[in-house]
Every structure is written in structure tokens, then in C-alpha cells.
Amino acid sequence: MVIRQFYPNCSAGIPVKRFDWLESFELRVPEIDSDHRAMLDLMKATRAAAAAGNRERVEHYIDRLFALTQNHFMREETLMLRWGYPDAKMHATYHQRLLDRAKEVRRACGQIESQEAFEECCEEMMTFLIDDVVRGDMKMKSFLETNGLTLPE
Ligand SMILES: [Fe+2]
Ligand SMILES: [Fe+2]
């Protein structure tokens, strides 16, 4: 397996090094933002458990992260259809691809024995899930604003 370069740059060009919430991620759509925050929290917890070498904990957090992400994608897709987002179908395909890739990497991580490579593998897996927060959904921002779907600043 090829370990990719971690932390894709988000649209603002800020590397996501710590899974910290950045203001630039905020869509001002509470149903979406709260899921994104929770996803980042679970990624941080996953990273900490991986760094501590606690694989059982890693599995526990990753299970929760996948469940949350799957629900989040469904919620988002329902909202996009309701709002008439023109790229709703393309975005749903993008979600599915992210999940498939993350699952694939997760399976590969299970085969890794060395601690360092395992941590790197977990990081790689999470880059697919965080892509939705830092890149994919940013494409919706102007549509949401133009259509008055965001909360006032
Ligand atoms: Fe999202
Ligand atoms: Fe999304």
C-alpha cells in the first residue's frame, strides 16, 4: 500500500494538521457544522489512541467515526435534494467514493504490525473522511449563501 502525503490542503490552503476546527470550515448550517465538528473530534481521538498504540481504542473510535460519517452523508444528501442543490447527485457519488476509499485503507491498516506504519495508515484513512469537511462541502458555500440557507453571521 502506498502511504499518501497526509493532510490535503483545504480550499483556503490551510493544512489540516491537528483536526482542529477552523472557522473557514463553518458553513453556518448547524445541521452540517455540528456533524463536521463531531467528525473532527473522533478523528482526534482516533489519532491519540493510535499514537498510544491502543488498537482496541482505535477500532472503537473508527467504528463511531464511520457510523457518524455515514449518517452525516445521508443527512447532507437529503438536505441537498430538499434545497435543490444542482450538484447533489455528484456530491453523493463523491461521498460514496470517500467512504469506499476509507474502508479500503482501514482494512489495510488491520494488516500492519509496526506502530509507526499503523499510525500513518490511520492518518491516511482519515484524510478521505476529512476531505468532505475541508474541501468537498466548501463547494456548496456560495449556493447556500445565495439561497439564504445559512444562519446570519
Ligand atoms: Fe459534510
Ligand atoms: Fe459532503
Q: Domain boundaries in the chain? A: 28-146
Average pLDDT value over all residues in the chain: 90
Q: What is the biggest distance separating any 2 CA atoms in the chain, rounded to whole angstroms?
A: 50
- pLDDT of 19: 86
What is the domain class of 28-146 according to CATH?
A: mainly alpha
- Is it the case that residue 3 has pLDDT exceeding 70? no
pLDDT of 119-135, one tens digit each?
Answer: 999 999 999 999 999 99
- Is it the case that residue 16 has pLDDT exceeding 90? no
- The model's pTM: 0.88
Q: Which ligand is nearest to the CA of 88?
A: 2
Distance of CA 139 to the CA centre of its chain: 15
How large is the average pLDDT for residues 8-25? 64
- Buried residues in 79-108 as b, exposed as e (16+ CB within 10 A): bbeeeebeebeebbebbeebbebbeebbee
Q: What is the rounded distance in angstroms from the CA atom of residue 87 to the CA atom of residue 81?
A: 9
Q: Find the 130 Cα to ligand 2 centroid distance in Å.
A: 10
pLDDT of 53-105, one tens digit each?
Answer: 999 999 999 999 999 999 999 999 999 999 999 999 999 999 999 999 999 99
Q: Find the 133 Cα to ligand 1 centroid distance in Å.
A: 5
Q: Find the 117 Cα to ligand 1 centroid distance in Å.
A: 28
